[in-house]
Structure 1
Amino acid sequence: MDDQLWSTPEMRQARASGDVGAIVRLTRQARRLTLAQLGALCGYSASQVSRYERGVAPLTDVVVLRRFADALQIPPHLLGLAPAPGPAGGAAGTAAAGGVTVARGGGREGGDDPVRRRQLLANLAVTAAAAVGPCLPAPVTVQPVDTGELLVGRLRDTMLGLHPQPPAPLPVDRLRALLTTALSDFHACRYGRLADVLPRLLAHAHATTADDRDDREAAAVLAQTYILATRMLIKLDDPQLGWMAADRARLLASAADQPLTAAEAARNLAILARRAGWYDQAASLVLSAADTIGLRADDPAHTAERGLLLMSAAYTLAKQGDRSGMRELTDDAAAIAGRLGAARGGTLLRDHGGGFSAAAVALHRISAEYSAGDPGAAIAAGRSIHPGSLPTVERRARYHTDMARAFAQWGRREECLRALLAAERAAPEETHARPAVRDLVSGLLLSGRTSPPLRGLAARCGIT
């Protein structure tokens, strides 16, 4: 099989051009691994693997290249690597895991490393070209902007304080206006605009709180901004930044005496803990938050937040395979939504986890049921929802994506594709940016016959 893989036209083209990201991607697809599976083998998130494959993040570090070579059984020379010396001068020690070879250890290669040499020559060529100045026009390939990558990169720079010029403090009413704009862009899945507004808001809110550390209103806005940043980082599969944002939100909300925001920060921390496989800790986070004194007030918003926390705990039980426990907690949340709906109507806490209502609980059932391993129940739950009853574009896109996941789990490829195309029609920027959607599309490409609509969706999602 490998001899055929290394000689396919696509692989020959990638090798000839030195596109190591394409070599990794083509090999991963041939091994029938998802981005998440390869990331788990190498110690990276799915989105980071995607960035390496697409050339968004440079694949020049020897340690990174060695991990991919070992995990995918790629001959080292195809990635510009020299054979790694083992204990007796042979190949580096490896351990098999699920039929895929995983490195036991790795370090930087010494001596005349070909990858480092190639990168040095490339840097020298760029420097020389800049020094000489323009001469003959060179062909320029313009890559489409990945709004997800752009947003994550700008949030990272802002959270690390890497500003081209120091941001200025703003009045709190101006900060709140910017937060309203950012939330509106989030709910409408306008992520290109959000990539501009959200980091700018974060920088100005930090400057304002630094200017007056006792300004609780500014601290509350900053906490809410970090909540929104966490939601985007969870969507875009950057858990490291997500942890940082969620923890900052929790500390700020506690200092500003904002129990609803503190509870939402705890819910986001639980999501990140659950994704890391820390199920007991995830359940403890949300159940402890639901029992806090601050959420015991006889207030519909506080009651709705308890409902959201119960839904999160239910999802954690689903990931543990506890269907009965998941359904019991979900029924409790549905009963809360029913009582609140009879009294108030509409959706409460729209800016917290997508809002709380009977429709929100029904949407939660889809993902909870397929996570518990029952795609039939997930699809049945989904068919009880009219997408138009969901309050925002972002929630409607979530509905179609969750249905696609359930159909994929059930082996219904055509229904999965139709659901993904519906998600794209509802929210193209969301669909194209999310690593979870790219994983689904990659799975469809590898699992059977392709079609023009599927190939078109793959191209629009940056999967080639």
Structure 2
Amino acid sequence: MGVDVTEELPIGRRVAYWRQRRTMSQQVFADRIGKSKSWVDKIERGVRRLDKFSVLHDIADVLQVDVQLLLGRDPERSSEAFNCVDQVEVEDIRQALERYERLGTLFEAAPIQPMPLDDFAKSVSHAWMTFEAANYAALARSLITLLKTGPAVEEEAADPQKTRAANLLSQVYQIASSVLRKLGEPQLAWLAADRAISAAQRGDDPLLIGTATTRVANALRSLGRSSAALDLNIQVAQKVLAQGGADPGAAALSVHGQLLLQGAMAAAQCGDLPTARELLRSADGIADLVGDGHNHYWTSFGPTNVALHRAAAAVELGEGRMAVNTHVRIDPEAFARLVPERRAHHYVDVARGYNQIGDHHEAGRLLVEAGRVAPLEIRCRPLAHQVISDVLRRSRGAAPAPLIAMAEELRLAA
């Protein structure tokens, strides 16, 4: 188990630490807990005491942490806690990402014992399947091991196998980046994605570099740098297609198409409707060539996934009606063949669209359906929690009973 880096800090400094981890300004944080920015600043500097337990609980709820962490103690890990990823496991992932195994010999540090390369490959394949099943709790625990052992596997691999080991390590970093972004840890997601690109470059796989680029761009979007994410996706998409030659295969087309889709999402977050539409149209043309039912380089790219991104982009643009219309036109059979993570993620997106047009009952129904398809996509994602609370607040008591029960189970306030 990792050591909580905040355990020796004063309580105000711990509040500041977790606020910054959630990328909140003092003003945004103050608004969410119903206090002034001056009050927050005094708490964080230790000028004012934080001695009301009710206020401490409000702060913990907003920061999505266990109140015990704010008090400098390890949280009590009940059996229910193991249904999702807790802060202790996130800190273990952080520590694993911050290790530099190649420096071990210089400082006589105890080396990590690598696992055989074939065993490492099987573990990485299992991690992908676990991610696509949205089983984030099990995945977090396996990622801690893979992140620690992966660099040693690459370091110890024989020369003919080093590129394979580097590519596998890039995949581990990519999975970690995607999970951390879902958990509301954009800075860590960016670090993992950056490591993924470096490893993919050592592995000399342009398509793996392309998928790693989407992780970097998604982390940038979560950090509020959507314009940089848009430029990055477009530049690398063009390079991937150019390297594919006159007749790129389905894998190259899938990675190129996925970069276009992530570029469309970045354009939507920038409020750039024309660019988002153009990128989605281009992705449509590529998807028609690839078809549905494939998962090249873990992209799930095809016409149905393009439709999912079209709906998500519409939501980001505030076009709830467009998102809903896109959703209802999706072929149910093709949608059912997508991995659970993709389907549940889409339900959360479209629930936001229904909420935007005032159909809170349907929004609630889709959130409940997302919880049925992939329970941890709801339980573990701060975004899902925000959507549930927003639907409950706007529906004014008319929300579906299963959604109310879900909110109570997650201890969410309307």
- Percent identical residues: 28
Aligned pairs (5 A) from 1:294-313? 295-297=243-245, 298-313=248-263
Following TM superposition, by how much is the alpha carbon of 1:327 offset from its aligned partner in structure 2, in angstroms? 1.4
For residue 328 of structure 1, what is the aligned residue in structure 2? 278
Query: Aligned partners of 2:17, 2:322: CA distance in 1, in Å?
Result: 30
> 1:182 touches 1:197 (CA, 8 Å); kept in 2?
yes
Query: Aligned partners of 1:185, 1:248: CA distance in 2, in Å?
Result: 21
> 1:370 touches 1:406 (CA, 8 Å); kept in 2?
yes
Following TM superposition, by how much is the alpha carbon of 1:419 offset from its aligned partner in structure 2, in angstroms? 0.5
1:148 corresponds to which of 85, 96, 113: 85
CA deviations over 1:73-121 (Å, ceiling 9, x no partner): 549xxxxxxxxxxxxxxxxx84xxxxxx8749962349xx676xxxxxx
1:398 and 2:348 aligned = no
Q: Relative to structure 1, is the Cα distance of residues 213 and 319 closer, same or farther in structure 2, using a 3 angstrom cutoff? A: farther
Aligned pairs (5 A) from 1:369-380? 369-380=314-325
SS of the residue 1:321 aligns to: coil
Query: Aligned partners of 2:123, 2:259: CA distance in 1, in Å?
Result: 27
Query: Aligned partners of 1:259, 1:409: CA distance in 2, in Å?
Result: 40
CA deviations over 1:200-258 (Å, ceiling 9, x no partner): 22222122123349522111110111011111111111011111100000111111101
1:425 and 2:386 aligned = no
Query: Aligned partners of 1:166, 1:319: CA distance in 2, in Å?
Result: 44
Following TM superposition, by how much is the alpha carbon of 1:426 offset from its aligned partner in structure 2, in angstroms? 0.5
SS of the residue 2:80 aligns to: coil
1:432 maps to a residue whose letter is R
Query: Aligned partners of 2:152, 2:217: CA distance in 1, in Å?
Result: 29
Query: Aligned partners of 1:141, 1:228: CA distance in 2, in Å?
Result: 25
1:457 maps to a residue whose letter is M
Q: Which moved more, 1:243-252 or 1:315-324?
A: 315-324
1:183 and 2:128 aligned = yes
> 1:71 touches 1:103 (CA, 8 Å); kept in 2?
no
Q: Relative to structure 1, is the Cα distance of residues 190 and 312 closer, same or farther in structure 2, using a 3 angstrom cutoff? A: same
Query: Aligned partners of 1:437, 1:247: CA distance in 2, in Å?
Result: 26
1:356 and 2:304 aligned = no
Following TM superposition, by how much is the alpha carbon of 1:72 offset from its aligned partner in structure 2, in angstroms? 3.8
For residue 119 of structure 2, what is the aligned residue in structure 1? 174
2:406 maps to a residue whose letter is L
Q: Relative to structure 1, is the Cα distance of residues 350 and 291 closer, same or farther in structure 2, using a 3 angstrom cutoff? A: closer
Q: Which moved more, 1:188-197 or 1:433-442?
A: 188-197
Cα RMSD after superposing both structures: 3.6
2:362 corresponds to which of 415, 426, 429: 415
| Bigger radius of gyration | 1
Following TM superposition, by how much is the alpha carbon of 1:316 offset from its aligned partner in structure 2, in angstroms? 1.6
For residue 61 of structure 2, what is the aligned residue in structure 1? none
1:292 corresponds to which of 239, 245, 249: 239
Query: Aligned partners of 2:360, 2:124: CA distance in 1, in Å?
Result: 40
Query: Aligned partners of 2:152, 2:375: CA distance in 1, in Å?
Result: 34
Q: Relative to structure 1, is the Cα distance of residues 162 and 449 closer, same or farther in structure 2, using a 3 angstrom cutoff? A: farther
2:181 corresponds to which of 229, 234, 253: 234
Aligned pairs (5 A) from 1:241-280? 241-280=188-227
For residue 404 of structure 2, what is the aligned residue in structure 1? 455
For residue 118 of structure 1, what is the aligned residue in structure 2? none
Query: Aligned partners of 1:378, 1:461: CA distance in 2, in Å?
Result: 27
Query: Aligned partners of 1:455, 1:301: CA distance in 2, in Å?
Result: 43
1:281 maps to a residue whose letter is A
Q: Relative to structure 1, is the Cα distance of residues 191 and 289 closer, same or farther in structure 2, using a 3 angstrom cutoff? A: same
For residue 80 of structure 1, what is the aligned residue in structure 2? none
For residue 312 of structure 2, what is the aligned residue in structure 1? 367
Count of residues paired in the alignment: 362
2:95 maps to a residue whose letter is D
> 1:295 touches 1:306 (CA, 8 Å); kept in 2?
no
Q: Relative to structure 1, is the Cα distance of residues 389 and 143 closer, same or farther in structure 2, using a 3 angstrom cutoff? A: same
Q: Relative to structure 1, is the Cα distance of residues 269 and 387 closer, same or farther in structure 2, using a 3 angstrom cutoff? A: farther
Q: Which moved more, 1:417-426 or 1:209-218?
A: 209-218
Q: Relative to structure 1, is the Cα distance of residues 191 and 348 closer, same or farther in structure 2, using a 3 angstrom cutoff? A: closer
Q: Normalising by the residue count of structure 2, what TM-score does the alignment of the two structures yield?
A: 0.77
Query: Aligned partners of 1:388, 1:235: CA distance in 2, in Å?
Result: 26
Following TM superposition, by how much is the alpha carbon of 1:274 offset from its aligned partner in structure 2, in angstroms? 2.1
Q: Relative to structure 1, is the Cα distance of residues 219 and 412 closer, same or farther in structure 2, using a 3 angstrom cutoff? A: same
For residue 130 of structure 1, what is the aligned residue in structure 2? none
Q: Normalising by the residue count of structure 1, what TM-score does the alignment of the two structures yield?
A: 0.69
1:203 and 2:140 aligned = no
Query: Aligned partners of 1:141, 1:425: CA distance in 2, in Å?
Result: 24
2:382 maps to a residue whose letter is P
Give ranges in structure 1 of 5+ residues lacking alignment: 1-19, 25-37, 50-63, 76-92, 95-100, 116-121, 128-139
1:306 maps to a residue whose letter is H
Aligned pairs (5 A) from 1:97-108? 103=41, 107-108=45-46
1:319 and 2:255 aligned = no
Following TM superposition, by how much is the alpha carbon of 1:458 offset from its aligned partner in structure 2, in angstroms? 0.6
Following TM superposition, by how much is the alpha carbon of 1:278 offset from its aligned partner in structure 2, in angstroms? 2.0
Following TM superposition, by how much is the alpha carbon of 1:296 offset from its aligned partner in structure 2, in angstroms? 2.8
Query: Aligned partners of 1:382, 1:247: CA distance in 2, in Å?
Result: 33
Q: Relative to structure 1, is the Cα distance of residues 319 and 291 closer, same or farther in structure 2, using a 3 angstrom cutoff? A: same
> 1:154 touches 1:195 (CA, 8 Å); kept in 2?
no
For residue 158 of structure 1, what is the aligned residue in structure 2? 96
Q: Which has a greater percent of helix?
A: 2
SS of the residue 1:347 aligns to: coil
Q: Relative to structure 1, is the Cα distance of residues 395 and 350 closer, same or farther in structure 2, using a 3 angstrom cutoff? A: farther
Q: Which moved more, 1:195-204 or 1:253-262?
A: 195-204
